[in-house]
Amino acid sequence: MAIASPCTKVCTVDPRSQLCRGCGRTLDEIARWMSLGESERQRIMAELPARLEANGLGPALAAEQRRA
C-alpha cells in the first residue's frame, strides 16, 4: 500500500521558517514521514496549506517568483 506524501519535489528549506518551500513540512517531519502513523500523516497534511500561506511558501512563493 502506498503512503500518501505531500512532497512536490521542491525540496529546499526556507531559512526563516525552517519549512520545506515545496510541501511545508519540517525536516523532522520529512525524516520521520515513513514511520508516522496514517492519522499523524493526515493531520500534518491538513496543516500544510496554512503553513505555506502563512510563510509565503508553496503556491504563494511560485506566484511571487512569476511576478518578479
35-56 pLDDT, tens per residue?
999 999 999 999 999 999 999 9
pLDDT > 60? residue 65: no
Tell me the average pLDDT across 2-29: 93
Domain boundaries, the chain: 27-67
What's residue 10's pLDDT? 87
- Computed over every residue of the chain, the mean pLDDT equals 88
Tell me the average pLDDT across 14-24: 95
What is the rounded distance in angstroms from the CA atom of residue 36 to the CA atom of residue 30? 10
Name the phi and psi angles at 13, rounded to 5. Answer: -90, 130
